[in-house]
Structure 1
Amino acid sequence: MIVERLGLVDFRNYAEADVVLHSGPNVFIGRNGQGKTNLVEAIAFLATLGSHRVATDAPLVREGKDAAFVRARLAHGERLLTLEAQINRQGSNKTRIGGSPVRPAELPRHAHVVLFAPEDLQIVRGDPSARRRFVDQLLVQRAPRFAGVIADYDRVLRQRNALLKSARARGIRGDALTTLDVWNDKLVALGTELIVARARLTRELAEPVHVAYTAIAGEDHTPELEWMLSVGNADDVEHAFRTALGAKRTEELDRAVTLVGPHRDDLLLRVRGLPVKGYASHGESWSVVLALRLASAELLREDSSTGDPVVILDDVFAELDADRRARLAGLVGGYEQVIVTAAVDADVPSELRANVVRVQAGQIVEGEIDE
């Protein structure tokens, strides 16, 4: 897949922008705060229906406006396709493919993007929600129907927690809350599907993560991935989930919150037999993150019948030493389209320094940027 053209209206700091992109490497150069990351954020939004920087859509809309518009022309081989998103400050977003209205969940079927960013360090250093979000985004990119599974699970979880809070307020304890069993059935059905899919995806990531980590780090630290399940590790996930809910029933009623399920699971990452979080060096942590993203790109590439995912490197090279820069450039250079952002030209390896677009104060400018 190649993004041939990107158009923005009232997105972040852009009143309007129209950017032509090419196959192979593309570089957005601009000082910090000028808007280069906003361009790649817009591209990634079409693939993930969200931002890698903020949890809600409102910050994507330019100050004083009610909606932002993202439009991209994609090339899947000889086939051209135009994707559009209207991101509303309030209310539901609207999306189109080829000018025809579609559900937002349809966009990720056509836009395949893997984005690396400094925020990715939170995958290995942050709380478990960052690791769950990483896996779930990849899960949706590979099988868009899981967007519905995840949304339904979150909805049932909220309703079950509301029931627990209401029961605590009314002093209901133990088996007296019979309606809880109905919500347990729904939670177990959706949660089991999500747990099984996450575990399968983790197994599929293991080998490409190992290969990518070794290539980036220049040595083999035996990276490992393992899902830590709050329902307990078992061959029969549905039975384990239901049993765990039963065991936690009294405590859940006391605390008015659901204590087991995929919303409490975590992805354990190790190098050299030790957890990355708390033990890995800065360089090792970056190597793990980059390996996770490269492994994601490889899985999306294997899945696709229409070409590679677009690989985006957002201010990544400034965070890496010279050796890792060179190795990363070599690994991504074979993808159909690579988009790089950088504050300084020299941070970008020479083999990726092509088709340069300069960005200043929300404008695409010709020539050198004013100091």
Structure 2
Amino acid sequence: MYVRQLQVVDFRSWKQADLTFEPGPCVLVGANGQGKTNLVEAIGYTATLGSHRVSTDAPMIRHGAQRAVVRTAVVNEGRELTIELEITSGKANRARVNRGPVPRPRDVLGILRTVLFAPEDLALVRGDPGERRRFLDDLLVLRAPRYAGVRSDYERVLRQRNALLKTAGAARRAGSKGDIATLDVWDGHLATHGGQLLAARLDLVADLAPHVLAAYAGVAGSDNGTPATVSYKSSIAENLEPGYGTPGGERADPEAVADALLAAMAASRSQELERGVSLVGPHRDELELVLGEAPAKGYASHGESWSYALALRLAAYELLRDEGSEPVLVLDDVFAELDRRRRSRLAEVAAAAEQVLITAAVAEDVPGELAGTRFSVADGEVHRAG
């Protein structure tokens, strides 16, 4: 799989840009603030319908414009598909494939798969649990696009259930019984969608764990014998089968997980009404990152944290590659952040990729084996340099 062409109109800082790529390494070189990251962000947005930098779509639209357009031609096993995404301020986004409209933008998911590593990834190790949950869910959607709908449905039901809990809880504190007649219905919906999402996360972590262990060992080097392990910490762990989420363990049963969620919600209902918020479910879970016997967050050094973040992305890349068409690897201004050993390991993986897109402020930051096709980015223009 590779991106053959990218066209953007009013996307981020770009009024317009048109780039033609080739398989292998493609390097965008330019000073900071010239828009390199905006271009690879457009590619990442095509693959995930989200940004690695912000949580909403509004910043994707160039200041003063009403909409942004991203067109990406993707070649996979000799077949080319062109995805067009229209991001409109205050309105629903629209999508087309080969100029034909699709019912929902998320119907384009799966056409392009990318794994992106950026300086922001240090938050995967040092940030709050939401960063790691997002990592899992984004990878889950890349792995099986139907989970975009499951994720969306769960978040929608969660908002509605929280609103009911808040209203009913406030009424009870004011001396009224509060209307909770429909809470059982929302419990059922949350358990159904949450059971699917949680079961998929557990299976994903089980499959990802060996890749993380191997990737960290490769990045950190043979002189560092500390293993990196990942595990899933669920808010309903005591209700789940102990083998779920472990390499070689039992695959998670969505219906059994849904039943466990229902039981946990029933047990915590009084607390939820008191606090006005849902206290159990995938939104309260954590991907635990451990180095040796200590949690990586708070204990890992700066270098170890970078190694762990890199290992998570490389593990995701290897997992997707093992399961189907090879994803496009995107390296956004990361070589300047890495020492010689980590650069070398990343370059080794990237050089073997079907396509790797790289941004760098200085051409010399990019290892020689990734020279490939080069583009110069400056003053609102991008030109092929070699």
Q: TM-score normalised to the size of structure 1?
A: 0.95
Give the corresponding residue for 2:377.
359
Q: 1:166 to 1:31 in 2, by over 3 A?
A: same
Q: How much does 1:5 deviate?
A: 0.9
Q: Secondary structure at the match of 2:55?
A: coil
Q: CA offset at residue 362 of structure 1?
A: 2.5
Structure 1 residue 296: deviation in Å?
1.0
Equivalences for residues 38-57 of structure 1 within 5 A: 38-57=38-57
What displacement does 1:366 show?
5.8
Name the structure 2 match of 1:221.
226
**1:337 paired to 2:367:** no
Give, in whole Å, the separation in 2 of the partners of 1:176 and 1:360: 60
Letter in 1 for 2:262: R
* Code of the aligned partner of 1:108: L
TM-fit CA distance, 1:148: 0.6
Aligned match of 2:246: none
In the TM superposition, 1:146-185 aligns within 5 A as 146-171=147-172, 177-185=180-188
Residue in 1 that maps onto 2:117: 116
SS in 1 for 2:156: helix
Question: Structure 1 residues 353 and 367, CA, compared in 2 at 3 Å: closer, same or farther?
Answer: closer
CA contact (8 A) 2:168 2:179 kept: no
The answer to whether the 8 Å contact 2:205/2:232 transfers is yes
> How far apart are the structure 2 equivalents of 1:278 and 1:46?
34
Identity %: 51
Q: Which amino acid aligns with 2:217?
A: T
Where 2:109 maps in the other structure, the secondary structure is helix
Amino acid at match of 1:228: K
Deviates further, 101-110 or 331-340: 101-110
**Structure-1 residue corresponding to 2:129:** 128
CA distance in 2, matches of 1:217, 1:135: 23
One-letter code of the match for 1:71? R
Q: Distance in 2 between matches of 1:335 and 1:18?
A: 23
Q: CA RMSD in A?
A: 1.6
Task: Say whether residues 1:211 and 2:214 are aligned partners.
Answer: yes
2:298 and 2:169 mapped to 1: Cα distance? 37
1:266 corresponds to 2:286: yes
Partner of 1:278: 298
Counterpart Cα distance in 2 of 1:366 and 1:152: 43
Tell me the residue number matched to 1:325. Answer: 343
CA apart distance, 1:210: 1.2
**2:92 corresponding residue in structure 1:** 92
Per the TM alignment, residue 180 of structure 1 is displaced from its structure 2 partner at its CA by 1.1
2:309 corresponds, among 269, 279, 289, to 289
Distance 2:137 2:335 in 1: 26
| 1:363 positional shift | 1.2
Cα separation, partners in 2 of 1:366 and 1:104, compared to 1, 3 Å: closer
Asked whether the equivalents of residues 11 and 60 of structure 1 are also in contact (C-alpha less than 8 Å), the reply is yes
Runs of 4+ in 1 over 3 A off after TM superposition: 172-176, 365-368
Unaligned runs of 5+ in 1: none
TM-score, length of structure 2 as denominator length: 0.92
Contact 2:27/2:359 (8 A) holds in 1: yes
1:77-133 alpha-carbon deviations (Å, 9 max, x no partner): 221111111111221111111111112112221111110001111111111110000
Q: Alpha-carbon deviation of 1:33?
A: 0.7
> Could you tell me how far apart the structure 2 residues matched to 1:173 and 1:105 are?
43
Structure 2 spans left out of the alignment, 5+ residues: 242-255
- Paired positions, count: 366
Contact 1:173 1:253 in 2 (8 A): no
Distance between the aligned counterparts of 1:177 and 1:214, measured in 2?
Answer: 52
Q: Report the Cα distance in structure 2 between the residues aligned to 1:164 and 1:261, rounded to whole angstroms.
A: 15
How much has 1:169 moved relative to structure 2?
Answer: 2.8
Report the Cα distance in structure 1 between the residues aligned to 2:124 and 2:215, rounded to whole angstroms. 17
